[in-house]
Structure 1
Amino acid sequence: MKVRVITAVVALLIFVPLLIIGHLPLLILTVIMGVVAVSEILRMKHIIFVTTEAFISFVGVIAIILPNNFWHDVPFIKSAHVVFYILAFLMLLNTILVRNHFNFDDAGAMTLAMLYIGTGFHYFFQAASVGLATVLFGMLMVWLTDSGAYMVGRAIGKHKLAPKISPNKTWEGSVGGSAVAIVIIPALFSIFNWLPSYSFIELLGFAVILSIAGQLGDLIESGFKRHYRVKDSGNILPGHGGILDRFDSMLIVMPLMAILGMLG
């Protein structure tokens, strides 16, 4: 517990100021987190970091994370979609060049990893660019849902939510965690007028969707960790695991905020 608390304090001392500053410092941190997250997938699949497929994966996640306007002046590219297509093609081509140790299933897993991680962190940075209140709405929804689910689950949890994927999660914890976040966050943001463009009812609707989505993001990561038979995605955060362990819900929530129109 002591290590966990120390790691959380140090991480927040680094993360919060960069979140407030935004712009290039936050983008650099976001890109680093994306690269580390991809390296965690590579490690789960026992792919060493100096292979062609690892290089393609790192370039791909960086390309997707970068802001859309980064590509506007790049000849023949214009968008990250073009870069992603080229890299996906190279990933498939690599299955021919090194077919003895890298196959179609591997290519599919790493291409999806680039898209899943890159898109999540891309919209995380975009949310921060829209405003501190916007990104905090998504982050607080995730954190409060997670904390509420843990406390309610420990107190009254009896019915397993997904025993084959995450045996400690319960339906009581899941519903309780969402209820806590859905009641507190919209009320807090409405009282302090932190998102004046939205009514309380709109914030309430966003909260319901994002709270459920965050829990699904957690289960998705639990699912592929169980598939690869690992307890944590990594160990870069002592006591907390890896980047994917900490940002699994946000990788789903942030793109969904864009779909809901919260990011402009």
Structure 2
Amino acid sequence: MRQRVITAVVALAFFLPIIYVGGIAVELLAALLAGIGVFELFRMKGLAVFSFEGVLSIIGAVILVLPQDRWFPFLPDDTDKSALFYFVVLLLLGIAVISKNTYTFDEAGFPVLASLYTGVGFERFLTARSATDGLVVLIFGLFVVWATDIGAYVAGRRFGKRKLWPEISPNKTIEGALGGIASAVVVAAIYLLAFPGKDYFGHGTLLMILLTIVFSIAGQFGDLVESAIKRHYGVKDSGHILPGHGGILDRFDSMLFVFPIMYLFGVF
């Protein structure tokens, strides 16, 4: 526990100032985290990340994360960076030809999905930061995730009896999940009262509190998805970059679901 606390404090001391500053700093951080996420997925599957497909997968994730105007000015005015990402997909599919069909269409699907999973998740994180009142909106999303995690842990330890999804994550309980939602709603309500009138793109306080339930559920589902990936590949943690916490995906799995869902509901 002591190691977990120390790591969390050090990570937040590094992470929060970059979020506050925004701009190129947070863009590079998001791209780095997406790249590490792809690395961890390849490692869990037992693949070499510095293979041709591994490098292409990281490049694909970084393309999805970084803003087009700043990082891809060479693209024609009417061309979206998704065309550049699809070029990476075409190169991955081309490996089947180069390898004389020893590398299959199914195998090419893994690096593409790895790029999408980490790339889109961290891109939506950046989109939240660059929105109107972006810092307030971004911190709101982070608070929902953190409140859900803490509330689920405390409620699960205190009241947890009925297993939520034992085949995927044996320690999670229904009581813990409900506690996480309740904690997120309380924190969101306090946060929204502290920042009244901020631009959530037409979403009033009551609607944002109701949507918090959706975001909390999405975050917990994202956690379960990453647990399912680890269980499938037979690993305990996605990585070891954060002592006491595991890897980047272990810490950001909920956020990779919450920010895309927030974007889907038009919060930013």
Does the pair score TM above 0.5? yes
Shift of 1:109: 1.5
Shift of 1:188: 2.6
Give the letter aligned to residue 182 of structure 1.
V
> Are positions 1:83 and 2:88 aligned together?
no
Corresponding residue SS for 1:233: coil
* Pairing of 1:76-155 with structure 2 (within 5 A): 78-98=79-99, 102-130=103-131, 131-155=134-158
Q: Counterpart of 2:7?
A: 7
Q: TM-score, normalised by structure 1?
A: 0.94
Shift of 1:139: 0.7
Aligned counterparts of 2:191 and 2:199: Cα–Cα separation in 1: 12
Identical pairs, percent: 44
> Are positions 1:162 and 2:165 aligned together?
yes
* 179-188 or 29-38, which deviates more: 179-188
Aligned counterparts of 2:209 and 2:157: Cα–Cα separation in 1: 26
Deviations 1:6-36 (A, max 9, x none): 1111111110100100000111111111111
Give the letter aligned to residue 34 of structure 2.
G
Give the letter aligned to residue 107 of structure 2.
D
Aligned counterparts of 1:60 and 1:143: Cα–Cα separation in 2: 28
* 62-71 or 106-115, which deviates more: 62-71
Aligned counterparts of 2:5 and 2:241: Cα–Cα separation in 1: 14
Cα pair 1:133 1:194 within 8 Å, conserved: no
Shift of 1:151: 0.5
Give the letter aligned to residue 175 of structure 2.
E
Aligned counterparts of 2:100 and 2:235: Cα–Cα separation in 1: 26
Distance 1:169-1:60 versus aligned 2 partners, 3 A rule: same
Corresponding residue SS for 1:226: helix
Shift of 1:179: 1.2
Unaligned residue ranges in structure 2 (runs of 5+): none
Corresponding residue SS for 1:169: strand
* Pairing of 1:1-264 with structure 2 (within 5 A): 1-70=1-70, 71=72, 74-75=75-76, 78-98=79-99, 102-130=103-131, 131-193=134-196, 195=198, 197=200, 198-263=203-268
Aligned counterparts of 2:197 and 2:171: Cα–Cα separation in 1: 35
Q: TM-score, normalised by structure 2?
A: 0.92
Shift of 1:4: 1.3
Cα pair 2:124 2:260 within 8 Å, conserved: yes
Distance 1:91-1:72 versus aligned 2 partners, 3 A rule: same
Aligned counterparts of 1:76 and 1:129: Cα–Cα separation in 2: 21
Aligned counterparts of 1:11 and 1:111: Cα–Cα separation in 2: 29
Shift of 1:99: 6.0
Give the letter aligned to residue 182 of structure 2.
A
Corresponding residue SS for 2:47: coil
Shift of 1:190: 2.2
Give the letter aligned to residue 85 of structure 1.
Y
* 195-204 or 23-32, which deviates more: 195-204
Please report the RMSD computed on the Cα atoms of aligned residues, expressed in angstroms: 1.8
Report the count of equivalent residues.
263
Unaligned residue ranges in structure 1 (runs of 5+): none
